[in-house]
Amino acid sequence: MPLPEILFRNLVEKSLTEDLGSGGDITSDRLIKQEVEISAGILARQQGVLAGDMVAGLTFDIVDSNLSIDWKVSDGQVLSSGTIVAVIVGAASSILKAERTALNFLGHLSGVATATNEMVVAVAGTNAKICCTRKTTPGLRALEKYAVRVGGGVNHRYGLDGGVLIKDNHIAISGGVSNAFKMIGDIGPDIGVEIEVDTLEQFEEALSCGARSILLDNMDNATLSEAVKTNNGKALLEASGNVTLDSVGAIAATGVDYISSGWITHSSPVLDFGLDLAF
C-alpha cells in the first residue's frame, strides 16, 4: 500500500532546502535559460528492487509542478542494470535542481527493498518471515519500513507505542522475567506483548509465564533449535542479533517464525541510479 504523502512531504521539502540552500542552484541558473526544456531518463545502474517512486516523484513536483514524469516501472518491480525507471520532461534547470535529492531517496529506499528481498529469497522454503527493527535513520522510519514491505518483509512495531517489548534492561530493572510479566499485567487484547531473552533458562521462564511472543537474542543456531523444540508451537519465536545475508538461511532452518534484522535499514547498500539526457 502506498504511503500517504503527509508522511513524507515535509521531509522532501526539508531535503530540497538542504540541497538548494538560500541561493538555489547557482550553476544551473547561470548556464541554463529558463525556457530550455529537455527529456531525461532515470536509469538503474544495477540490479535491484525499486522503492520510493512516490517520494522521487514528489521531489520533482515540488521543484516544478509543470514537469511531466512517466514512470516506466513501479515500486516492488525488479530492475536490471540499464532499466529505464522514469522519463521526465520539462524545464532543464528544474530537473537538475531536483535530481540529486530525488535520486538520493530512490537509491536509499531501493537499497533497503533490495536487501530485504535478498533475505526473503534466502529463507524461501522455510516458515520464517523477515522483519525490520527500530534501527532506522532518524526521520526516515516511515519510508524505510515501507521499503521493507516493498522488498517482501514485514514490519515490527513502528515505535515504542506500538506494543510492549520487554528487553534486557527492562528485565534487569524490574528484577527478572517473571517480575516483568507481573508488572505489565493485563494490558488488553489490542496491544501485543513480546519479551526478549538470551538464555534457554530465561526462555523457559518466559514460557511458564504464558508469553505468546518471545525474541531470542543472539542465540547460536543450536540453541535456537533447542528453543523451537521446547516451545512446541506455544509461542511465536523471533530470532535477532547479528543477522546477515550469509547467516539468515541457517537461522530460518531452525524453525523460528520471524527473523529481525537491523542491517536491512541501517546498513543496506544504496542502489545506484543515474539521470541521463541520452538514454
CA–CA dist 47, 82 (Å, integer): 9
DSSP state of 82: T
140 forms beta bridges with: none
Residue 100 a catalytic site member: yes
CA–CA dist 146, 193 (Å, integer): 23
Catalytic residue among 25, 217, 238, 257: 217
CA–CA dist 250, 204 (Å, integer): 23
For residue 68, give Cα distances in angstroms to 54, 57, 178, 275: 14, 10, 60, 15
Pure H helices in the chain: 9-20, 26-31, 53-63, 92-122, 141-150, 168-174, 177-184, 200-208, 221-231, 248-252, 263-266
CA dihedral of 48, 49, 53, 55, whole degrees rounded to 10: -90
Catalytic residue among 45, 129, 134, 167: 167
Catalytic residue among 45, 100, 129, 157: 100
Residue 167 a catalytic site member: yes
Catalytic residue among 53, 144, 196, 205: 196
Q: Pairing relation of β-strands 37-44 and 273-276? A: antiparallel
Residue 249's SS3 state is helix
Catalytic residue among 134, 135, 226, 272: 135
Per the CB < 8 A criterion, the answer to whether 194 and 163 are in contact is: yes
Residue 239's SS3 state is strand
Residue 204 a catalytic site member: no
Where does 228-276 show beta strands of DSSP type E?
236-240, 258-260, 273-276
So which residues are the catalytic ones? Answer: 100, 135, 167, 196, 217
